[in-house]
Amino acid sequence: MKKILLAIGVIAILGFVAYLEKPENNYHGFVPDLHVDSTPTIREEIEKEIEEESIEAYAHLEQESTPAMSSVELELVDTYEEDGYMVEKYRKYEVYRNDDGVIVKKEPTSNYEFLKYKIDESSESMGTHN
């Protein structure tokens, strides 16, 4: 008897969850008006024509002005020695590429990265003894 009640309870819960998950039960921030005629009105047709015209008019501008990919790349600017260390200075550039991977635009940023590594003095002294 307990197993039958448990099975009925599980089926009832699954049925309730399935009811809640139906696509027409999803709330997207608006309540549809059920009394609206589904045929397009003149206003909707005009709005659609205006939207299509504006898309056509500005399509070429969007293609030219928005590159497909952008990334940040480092470029070596300077190398110098400081207190027994070799220091490499890199500048960050924002690089824009089109769909073919060709660089369209390269903008330098004000950010720099530094790589500092110790110079091995024993290898330098060995070079001077030869």
Q: Determine the Cα–Cα distance for residues 52 and 58; give it in Å rounded to an integer.
A: 10
| Contact call for residues 13 and 21 (beta carbons, < 8 A) | no
What would the pLDDT profile of 71-121 be if each residue is shown by its tens digit? 889 999 999 998 889 999 999 999 888 888 888 888 888 899 999 988 886
Tokens standing for residue 98: 């089109």
Specify the pTM.
0.42
DSSP letters spanning 64-111: HH--SEEEEEEEEEEEEEETTEEEEEEEEEEEEE-TTS-EEEEEEEEE
